[in-house]
Chains A and B, each alone.
Chain A
Amino acid sequence: MSRWPRQCSRTIGVPVRLDFAGLVAACLLAVLWLPIPPNVSAADKLIVYSGRSERLIKPVLDAFTAKTGIQVDLLSSGTTELVNRLKAEGGRSPADVFISNDAGSLEMARTAGLLRPLSMPEVEQAIPPQFRAADNSWIGLSGRFWIIVCNTTMVTPDQITSLLDLADPRWKDKIAIPNAGSEYLQAGVSVIRASLGDDQTKKFLEGLRNNAGTHVYQKSSQIVEAVAKGQVSVGVVNHYYVYRHLAVQPTAPLGVMMPDQQAGGMGAIMNVAGIGILKHTSRFDTAKLLVEFLVAEVGQKMFADLDKEYPLHPEVKADSSLVERKSFRTASVPLTKLAELREPTLLLIEQVGMR
């Protein structure tokens, strides 16, 4: 290298740069060909960020488009990822509407000042107030319950009445649980903390951690699968994962237990999927049309049934395969508290050393 003449290295840069400049220009031109999504704000179009998976939301949005002629551009991703993205984008966000599977995330978006309050008689008539933010900056659309799924060949229903029973050592290596990053787990533990206090929750989590061992899953559907195969006896998941599995494999030995229904028990843990209109949208009125569509009876039925969830509109019936909604009661912790409970809950989960 030292033998490389210096005057050579001085001049060699010039033509190289010229060649590259041409190629770079060609590259940029090619980029400009790409279908860059138009950012012009047309009134007959909406951009929706959705933490609910595409399969479970697109048919509803398509029905909305068919009814109103409003085009919907959908971006599906993880719920917390989207909240992070919205925070980073701030006022420059192209999104008009945020749909989430978790009330805690919606409330977090609200407290971060991302959502716009809403005053619509349609919403107030359709959705009971406990399922909305106080200023309607987000509105719940469907209900989901944290339940215990069991393999009916291995467990009889009388063996478990409460989530807390799962900390019992006799379930060692027989439980599958979601990982610490799961919004469902975080919401569930938040409710338990609010109902029972930190000490009891911590003992419960330690038991759960020991019993689960390595059966910690990223996806709830994997938990249901593990229970169905008999790899573990019980698992903790949102109820619809069980019905989704049964829809594909009707003979799977799966049972749903609605926990904590005993006298004095805290009741089943509920969360909602919901919608909020973003503060900076220039298409507020169009976005309101979508909200109106989703809280109306047709939209409610469709939104809930696609994922086997419970509609929040009191007049709309849930899918007939689900446990009758009136047969069980719900924990009394308000959904709007989920966001503020989340940070200390995460700390507790990490202190216990769950994965």
Chain B
Amino acid sequence: MTAVRRSSVSPLQLAVLASTALILLPLGYVTALALSADSTVWHRLWTTRVPELLLNTVSLAGAVALLALVLGVSTAWMVTRFEFPGRRLWEVALVLPLAMPTYVLAYVYNYLLGYGGPVEHLWQMVTGPQSRILSPQSFWGVTIVMTLDTFPFVYLLTRSALLSFNVSFEEVARTCGASQLRTMLHVTLPLLRPSIVAGVALVVLYVVSDFGAVSLLRYQTLTYAVFQQMTGRSDNQAASILSILLVVLALLFLLTERWFRRRSRFYQTTGRYRAPQRIQCEWWHATALTACLATVTGLAFGIPAYLLMMWSLSSEAQAMLDARFFGFIWNSALLSSLAAAAAVLVGLPLAYLASRKPTWLNLGCLQAAYAGYVLPGPVAALAVLVLFLNVMPFLYGTVIVLIVAYVLHFLPVGLQSLEPSIQQITPNLEEVARTLGFGVRETWRRVTLPLIRNGVIVAWVLIFLQTMKELPATLLLRPVGFDTLAIRVWLEASEEYYQLAAPSALLIVLVGLPALALLLSRDWRAA
């Protein structure tokens, strides 16, 4: 009996509770701020802005999620199930958009598709001087830009699931006489569902919390409105009210997602898989696939990267490449790797306990961890700032404050890939190891960790990349004189010196590439 009672307060449990408390503090601060607001502030917001903002936010998230789902799953399917020349290349290229900040993509498309831009010129040469093309500063414009930037989340998780997928399930279905389509619909897709849903969830959370792209494309969402309230007013109450709405919206979504995922839980029964047999393609088939993939990667990465490169080669841009600039690169890389490592460390116990001991407490802690992602960057940063000043003032003005803010903000990104990877290992494996005489530590090192290594690496890289691009929290919390590449892009781009912003933007992409390579390197797959 005593053993049972003690098990509920294991050190791991304590660590989880402590990190949850830390995560919830800023949310509590923002809630308190919102609740302390006068009812007239609530009324004013509710009658003037809220309906439009809610509608805009929800419809944008919905449209992007749907498009990213289609794009992500179909491209993952193409590169894992077919064999054709150049497949390896596309497999890598499809992840590249993750290194491209959304605000950069938004700017590039604003330039390309905007009024009087090059694409419109071409179009008018064909169809006459009065015709107009789809404006990037519209619902569909924003939707397309966001989709192009976020579909790799779905692609990556789906691909990783398809690769570590045990084909024997499919073979059994085929042996039993199911058609190929039927096998796909009734066996493969349901087994992939946890990964796909996790990917889509990342997309939705990303879209509702994005500030850079919507502000450049002038599309009003809740996050954008929060930013406007915070930068246009000296009191932060209205901003915190809108933030709370955003948090509620996101939690509703996350609960729905969790419900979806709880209905489907599958265990991998062995640590070994056979790679699925790829279908050899005829030449016309290969051409069609290549055209498809080239269009997607070209739009999401190739064209923007080319433009950034051209702008970086301009003489104005060249003039600013000095020793200071290398400092920015170093700052960015260091901050991002530290934040990613810290977030994985905080995330692992959370995900582990929620999977192995899904009590209300543990699930609640996990759910709470998602709050930081939807708390809009500037508001979360303000909360972190106030907390540090009041609780640990000696740390204020150091990068530790920034790292805490990043962990708070990006932990869910890590959890989304840590969780499924832990869920895929059946507890039996660990139990067997224990029965065979392994110590707990040995079990963890030799059984659990190798099996979730994929998930850990994916989590680390995703957080690294996101931190690299993060803007509002860095703006608000960076120590004096400590600029990152993202800050440089913002400082130049917000004054419309886009050629000057280009080298920093290009470097964000370049520094992100090794991380992506790690994500795709072959040796971590065969655990």
Contacts and interface: CB of A to CB of B under 8 A. Distances in A.
B498 to A, nearest CB: 10
A326 interface: no
B271 interface: no
A47 B478 CA distance: 14
Interface stretch (A214-222, A264-272, A273-281, A294-302): A214-222
Nearest to A28: B400
A230 interface: yes
B393 A217 contact: no
Interface string B34-50: 00000000001000110
Interface string B206-247: 000000000110101000000011111110100000000000
Interface centre among A13, A19, A88, A347 (most CB of B within 10 A): A13
Nearest to B265: A1
Interface string B301-328: 0000000000000000000000000000
A248 to B, nearest CB: 9
B12 A80 contact: no
Given A7-B7, A9-B356, A14 B234 contact: no
Contacts of A19: 441, 444
Interface string A66-80: 000000011111101
A5 B431 contact: yes
Interface in B470-485: 475-476, 478-482
B398 interface: yes
B491 A74 contact: no
B491 A54 contact: yes
Interface string B100-141: 000000000000000110000000000000000000010000
B479 A37 contact: yes
B48 A27 contact: no
Given A13-B13, A19-B444, A80-B231, A34 B357 contact: no
Nearest to B233: A346
B11 interface: yes
Contacts, number: 186
Interface string B396-424: 11111001000000000000000000000
Contacts of B63: none
Interface residues of A, number: 77
Interface in A25-79: 27, 30-31, 34-37, 39, 47, 53-55, 73-78
Contacts of A18: 441
Given A23-B345, A88-B385, A12 B229 contact: no
A13 B228 contact: no
Contacts of A346: 232-233
Contacts of B527: none
Contacts of A24: 345
B444 A16 contact: yes
Interface stretch (A135-143, A147-155, A177-185, A190-198): A177-185
Nearest to B403: A31
Contacts of A73: 480-481
B496 A221 contact: yes
Contact of B495 (A12, A39, A55): A55
Contacts of B12: 12-13, 16-17
A15 interface: yes
Interface centre among B12, B228, B229, B236 (most CB of A within 10 A): B12
Given A9-B356, A75-B481, A346-B233, A36 B345 contact: no
B397 A94 contact: yes
Contact of A37 (B48, B382, B481): B481
A108 interface: yes
A264 B224 CA distance: 40
A85 B385 contact: yes
A140 B400 CA distance: 36
Given A31-B403, A54-B491, A181-B228, A10 B397 contact: no
Contacts of B430: 8
A4 B357 contact: yes
B175 to A, nearest CB: 30
B11 A13 contact: yes
Nearest to A215: B218
Contact of B444 (A15, A74, A95, A182): A15
B382 A186 contact: no
Nearest to A351: B48
Contacts of B292: none
A112 to B, nearest CB: 8
Contacts of B348: 20
Contacts of A290: none
A226 interface: yes
A84 B236 contact: yes
A231 B115 contact: yes
B522 interface: no
Interface string B1-20: 00110110011110100000
Contact of A88 (B7, B10, B386, B481): B386
Given A34-B399, A37-B479, A1 B427 contact: yes
A80 B220 contact: no
B184 interface: no
A31 B10 contact: no
Given A8-B434, A75-B481, A31 B400 contact: yes
B385 A55 contact: no
B341 interface: yes
A94 B479 CA distance: 9
6 contacts: A39-B397, A218-B215, A218-B216, A221-B495, A226-B115, A350-B44
Interface of B: 3-4, 6-7, 10-13, 15, 44, 48-49, 115-116, 137, 215-216, 218, 220, 228-234, 236, 334, 338, 341-342, 345, 348-349, 352, 356-358, 378, 382, 385-386, 389, 393, 396-400, 403, 427, 430-431, 434, 439-441, 444, 475-476, 478-482, 491-492, 494-497
Given A81-B231, A181-B228, A355-B220, 14 more contacts: A9-B356, A16-B12, A23-B341, A31-B399, A53-B494, A75-B478, A80-B230, A85-B385, A90-B389, A92-B393, A108-B234, A218-B215, A221-B496, A225-B496
Interface of A: 1, 3-20, 23-24, 27, 30-31, 34-37, 39, 47, 53-55, 73-78, 80-81, 83-85, 87-90, 92, 94-95, 108, 179-183, 186, 214, 216-219, 221-222, 225-226, 229-231, 342, 346-347, 350-351, 353, 355
